[in-house]
Amino acid sequence: MGFGLFALPWWGLVLVTLILTHVTIASVTIFLHRHQAHRALDLHPVASHFFRFWLWLTTGMVTREWVAIHRKHHAKCETVDDPHSPQIYGIAKVLLEGTELYGEEAANRETLAIYGRGTPDDWIERHLYTPHTVLGIALMLIIDIVLFGVIGLTVWAVQMLWIPVFAAGVINGVGHYLGYRSFVTRDASRNIVPWGLLIGGEELHNNHHAYSNSARLSSRWWEFDIGWMYIRLLAMLKLAHVNRVAARLRFDTSKAKCDLDTLQAILTHRYAVLAGFTRSLRSTVKHEVAALKVARLPATMRRWLQRDAESLPEKDHAVLRQALMSSTVLQTVYSMRQELAALIARTNASREQLLQQLEDWCRRAEESGIAALSDFSRQLRSYA
């Protein structure tokens, strides 16, 4: 197909394009995201510079800009200061204009100064990668044409579109709009699919927001994070060192009373605790809601169980208040959930005070007369 060094059939070109774009995705998730933005792993200089060079060729992105924007996204998530929240801008804008939103924030010098610290600042970054971003992608165009001929233009175009579509659009957009939630985080993050393949593991976005400093994005046994697989391979080759991964929940069913280990586990896994509350009380809430027969109530209660009450749209607050006034069970579930969320978010209390509050919460839950709430409390006590 066209006068290149390699005369590949159409399926060969498709395969090569997929491989090239996959290397780019791996570079983003391993180098920019997990290594640079969150310091979840350290990379050997050889691996680090390969990723920097490849991203310069295939995206033209500047490490400091990407890292700063992503860190600000975590710090200001789902607020008006979030650089790319579909909850603020709307899903269509983030999907279709994600690159423009990235460019606008990259021009914000305050963002770069506050959130871009610790990124590469060596000679090649200052004199080549940062000031000459267009040169890298132009060089990639020449390489594709030399290798594949005229059809190399198409290969190059797909490479250039891959990150704007999948990272700036799908992850930043769909990853905060549609999907399942393993953890009840304070933002709207979602896991798009349980198999993080096409986007290097970034599809497991809710898991990432729950444990942002973890080098592994998969959490449940049936989730697969291909980026983590690559990190493990790099570690075996002494090209990477993992700093942090999300700890696994452990249980000691013989425990009848909360102790400091229980408290520490609950604080560490606070988003998993709230998700467990949601799963445990879902049937109870659904039964009460069905009995009330209030318009719009099922959707309102589902949103409330998945997120904090203050994040509900204003129209849902009146519906929620009406439901709470009509059902003592819903009122109890609501107040206990709010208390638990406040307890695990409290930072100005001592560990002894928090432990006493936790024990009191468990006692009242088990005396509530609501079987699901009592069962959840007993499970909470078994956290080790």
Which phi and psi angles does 148 have, rounded to 5°? -120, 0
The residues that bridge with 42 in the sheet, in sequence order, are 241
Alpha-carbon torsion angle 235, 199, 40, 168, nearest 10:
150
Distances in Å between the alpha carbon of 384 and those of 247, 249, 259, 377? Answer: 12, 8, 9, 14
Q: Which residue has the tokens 């791996």?
A: 26
The answer to whether the CB of 42 falls within 8 A of the CB of 240 is yes
Q: Rounded distance, CA 291 to CA 209, Å? A: 35
Q: Which residue has the higher pLDDT, 298 or 171?
A: 171
Between residues 61 and 324, which one has the greater pLDDT?
Answer: 61
Please say whether the beta carbons of 71 and 111 come within 8 A.
no
- Residue 2 pLDDT: 62
Per-residue confidence (pLDDT) for residue 313, from 0 to 100 = 67
Looking at the chain, the whole-number percentage of residues with pLDDT higher than 90 is: 69
Show the tokens assigned to 141.
């165009």
Q: Is 90 exceeded by the pLDDT of residue 298?
A: no
pLDDT band for position 80 (cuts 50, 70, 90): very high
Establish how many alpha carbons lie within 13 A of residue 341's alpha carbon, considering only the half-sphere containing its beta carbon.
22
Is residue 210 within a helix (H) or strand (E), and if so which, with residue range? Answer: helix 205-210
User: Percent of the chain at pLDDT above 70?
Assistant: 94
Instruction: Dump pLDDT digits (tens) for 203-259.
Output: 999 999 999 999 999 999 999 999 999 999 999 999 999 999 998 888 888 888 899
Q: How confident is the model at residue 300 (pLDDT cuts 50, 70, 90)?
A: low
| Phi, psi dihedrals of residue 62, rounded to the nearest 5° | -95, 125
From residue 330, alpha-carbon distances to 155, 223, 310, 372 in Å are: 56, 33, 17, 12
- Please tell me which residue, 312 or 210, carries the higher pLDDT value: 210
Burial (CB count <10 Å: 0-12, 13-18, 19+), residue 44: middle
Mean pLDDT of the chain: 91
What does pTM read for this prediction? 0.88
Quick one: average pLDDT of 153-159? 95
In sequence order, the 6+-apart residues with CB closer than 8 A to the CB of 54 are 23, 24, 27
pLDDT for the residue numbered 42 = 98
Q: Strands, DSSP E only, in the chain?
A: 41-43, 195-196, 224-225, 240-242
Distances (CA, A) of 302 to 55, 156, 341: 41, 44, 17
Q: What is the pLDDT of residues 127-152, one digit of tens each?
A: 999 999 999 999 999 999 999 999 99
**Domain parsing of the chain, residue ranges:** 10-242, 260-381
Sequence letter at residue 90: G
pLDDT in tens, 42-78: 999 999 999 999 999 999 999 999 999 999 999 999 9
Nearby residues of 187 by Cβ (< 8 Å), 6 or more positions away: 77, 78, 176, 209
pLDDT of residue 291: 80
Token pair 């909850």 in the structure block, residue:
87
For the cut 70, the answer to whether the pLDDT of residue 296 exceeds it is no
Residue 44 and residue 239 in contact, taking contact as beta carbons nearer than 8 Å: yes
What DSSP state is assigned to residue 246?
P
How would you classify the pairing of strands 240-242 and 41-43?
antiparallel
Question: Is the pLDDT score of 35 beyond 80?
Answer: yes
- Has residue 309 got a pLDDT over 70? no
| Alpha-carbon gap, residue 316 to 310, rounded angstroms | 10
Beta partners for 241? 42
